[in-house]
Amino acid sequence: QVTLRESGPGLVKPTQTLTLTCTFSGFSLKTSGMCVAWVRQPPGKALEWLALIDWEGDKYYSTSLKTRLTISKDTSKNQVVLTMINMDSVDTGTYYCARRDVVAMTDAFDVWGPGTNVTVSS
């Protein structure tokens, strides 16, 4: 069974750096085709794709946020970490990690974590 779970601080102050961890099970990021992405949703707003890392360690970032984001993986711990610098109130929302297998029959974000809420406030 594939599961993902996000964890993070819950509350960060403006200008601080946010670090989120996605811990997953049921698959390995060493496996060809496997990817993990981060997606967020501000309150009352649309889903927004942030970043993705693949099995080879290649990284992809949202054009609008790439200067603030870093995605990395620790395959030994089955974790993917997202850092976002210079946090602002507009970054408040729910942050999800999701799996994608680009060589599988289902090439889509097929399994999602429950999400973690992030509030940016002083």
Partner 1 sequence: SNELTQPPSVSVSPGQTARIACSGDALPKKFVDWYQVKSGQAPVLVIYEDIKRPSGIPERFSGSSSGTMATLTISGAQVADEGDYYCSSPDSDGNQWLFGGGTKLTVL
Q: Stretches 19-27, 68-76, 78-86, 113-121: which one binds partner 1 (CB under 8 A)?
A: 113-121
Task: Identify the residue among 34, 81, 82, 98 touching partner 1 (CB under 8 A).
Answer: 98
Q: CA-CA distances (angstroms) from residue 39 to 26, 59, 76, 82, 105?
A: 20, 14, 23, 11, 22
Q: How far is the CB of 12 from partner 1 (least distance, A)?
A: 22
108 touches partner 1 (CB under 8 A): yes
Tell the smallest beta-carbon distance from residue 47 to partner 1 (Å).
4
Residues in region 57-86 near partner 1 by CB under 8 A:
60-63
Residues 6+ apart with CB under 8 A from 7: 20, 21, 22, 23, 116
* Vertex 15: Cα angle to 8 and 57 (nearest 5): 55
